[in-house]
Amino acid sequence: MKNFLFGRPLPSERLEHERLNKKTALAVLSSDAISSVAYATDQILIVLAVLGTAAAVNYAVPISAVIVGLLILVGLSYRQTIFAYPNGGGSYTVAKENLGTGSGLLAAAALLTDYIMTVAVSIAGGIAAIGEAGGGVLLYLAQEGRGIGLVNKLRAYQLQDAGFDTVDANEQLGFDADERVYLPAAEMLRQLGVTGVRLLTNNPDKVAALERYGIPIVERVPHVFPSNGHNERYLETKATRSGHLL
């Protein structure tokens, strides 16, 4: 059904040769901006609703004007970047070359913050699910960036900012799509006396890895949380390239 609606995933070797016409590209790329604006607007409306009707009436128009202004600035910025870097230019590269090293580092810090917030959403969702189940075990494995480390993850983010997806970015840096090892997790569970788990994950590789190391998976529990404009492409890549069950 997915292939019927969206078409087959594009092979990696064809990505750099694939081009969209302006009409199609506008519809595809605009969805990211629209979803991001809708997400932010939703949060603003929640705050205004708490403050009351008077606040909503007084602040709705000026806040809307600011959002429209920001969209115009972002649109102009994207337009300039496309003309100046026809082969792709990530935030770090553009900021460093035009505004200096400090601005480049600020852009890199923003990418790191985005990474931290993405992880935080996943952990918060996991903790909530464990709480609803009445208890559980949360394991931390020091394998940031799917096992490539934070520094290399920042390099991968720069590649993603230039158009690569999360899988191709890892491979461009010389790594496998996923470098994580789950033997330590299996050993921690054994040390805790856990003989079987209901595993909270969307990744079938985690299920297979733990079972391979002797931890029976009683049930795979889906990890469900809403997508937004910042992570839609990332989640789509996980589903189509890494086989995640989203």
Q: Which positions are catalytic?
A: 178, 180
Backbone angles phi, psi at 13, to 5 degrees: -70, -15
3-state secondary structure of 88: coil
SS3 percent helix, strand, coil of the chain, rounded to 5, is: 65, 5, 30
* Residue 197 bridge partners (DSSP): 217
Residue 86 in tokens: 């026809």
Torsion sign over Cα 128, 129, 133, 137: negative
Closest by CA position to 241, among listed 201, 157, 233: 233
HEC assignment per residue over 126-172: HHHHHHHHCCCCCCCCCCHHHHCCHHHHHHHHHHHHCCCCHHHHHHH
